[in-house]
A = this chain, B = another copy of it.
C-alpha cells in the first residue's frame, strides 16, 4: 500500500470494544460504520481468548474486505496472521515493533502506540507504519491508558515522525476537527462509534474534518 493510501485508510479507525456493545450488536455496529465510510477497523476485544478473537475477527474480515476497508488486530499478531488481516497494532508490553516486523509479511501494516515523541521516533525507525497517539482527551474506555497528553502532546508526536499519526482517546465528533488540525493523519475512536445511538451518523460526522483534504 502506498503511504498516501495508508494515510487515507487511517483517517478513521473504528476500534471494537465488547464491553460497550453486545457481541451480536458489535457486528451490526461495524457494518453500519463501514457502510458510512469508515476506512479501518481495529479488533480490540480486551479479555477475549484468541479463539474468541478469531471467531469475531472472521466476521469483521469478511465485512471489511467487502467494504474495501482495512482490518487491524490489536496486540495478537498470530490472530492477525490467521485472519489474513491487513495489520497489527502493538503497544508497550506487547511484542516490540522489530519483533513483529521480523515475524510478519513485508506488506503488513504495523501500528505502535506512543504518547512520547522519542518512543514514536524509535517505533518508526524499527519499522512501524503508523503511530497511535494518545490519550488525547480523558476517556473511560481505556482506564489503563495513562495520563492525557492533549492536542499539544499529539502535535509533538506528529512533528517527531514521518509516518501517519492517529490520535486516540476521548475524541468526539465535536473534537475531531481540532485533532485533525494538529496534522494528525487520522483519529481512532472506541466509544464515539461503539457507544453511539447512530453509529453511521457518528462515522460521517467524524470524517467531516477530512473532506477539504480529500478534494
Chain A residues packing against B (C-beta within 8 Å): 49-52, 54, 75-79, 81-82, 92-96, 99-100, 102-103
Q: Is the CB of A51 within 8 A of B94?
A: yes
Quick one: which of B50, B52, B93, B95 contacts A82, CB cutoff 8 A? B95
Measured between beta carbons, the chain B residues less than 8 angstroms from A77 are 77-78, 81
Q: How far is the CB of A81 from chain B (nearest CB, A)?
A: 4
Q: How far is the CB of A94 from chain B (nearest CB, A)?
A: 5
Complex copy number for this chain: 2
| Contact A51:B103 (CB < 8 A) given known A78-B76, A78-B77, A81-B78 | no
Q: Is the CB of B50 within 8 A of A92?
A: no
- Kindly report which residue of chain B lies nearest to residue A95, judged by CB atoms: B50
Q: Is the CB of A81 within 8 A of B54?
A: no
Q: Which of A78, A92, A96 has the most CB of B within 10 A?
A: A78
Q: How far is the CB of A145 from chain B (nearest CB, A)?
A: 16
Give the top 10 A-B pairs by smallest Cβ distance, nearest first. Answer: A77-B78, A81-B103, A82-B99, A49-B93, A78-B78, A82-B103, A50-B95, A50-B94, A51-B93, A82-B95
Q: A81 to B102, alpha carbons, bound, how many Å?
A: 8
- Kindly report which residue of chain B lies nearest to residue A75, judged by CB atoms: B50
Q: Is the CB of B100 within 8 A of A78?
A: yes
Q: A78 to B89, alpha carbons, bound, how many Å?
A: 13
- Kindly report which residue of chain B lies nearest to residue A102, judged by CB atoms: B82
Q: Is the CB of A51 within 8 A of B82?
A: no
- Kindly report which residue of chain B lies nearest to residue A88, judged by CB atoms: B78
A selection of 23 A-B contacts at a CB cut-off of 8 Å is A49-B93, A50-B75, A50-B93, A50-B94, A50-B95, A51-B95, A51-B96, A54-B95, A54-B96, A54-B99, A76-B78, A77-B78, A77-B81, A78-B78, A78-B81, A78-B100, A78-B103, A79-B95, A81-B102, A82-B95, A82-B99, A82-B100, A82-B103
Q: A76 to B81, alpha carbons, bound, how many Å?
A: 12
Q: A81 to B76, alpha carbons, bound, how many Å?
A: 12
Measured between beta carbons, the chain B residues less than 8 angstroms from A82 are 95, 99-100, 102-103
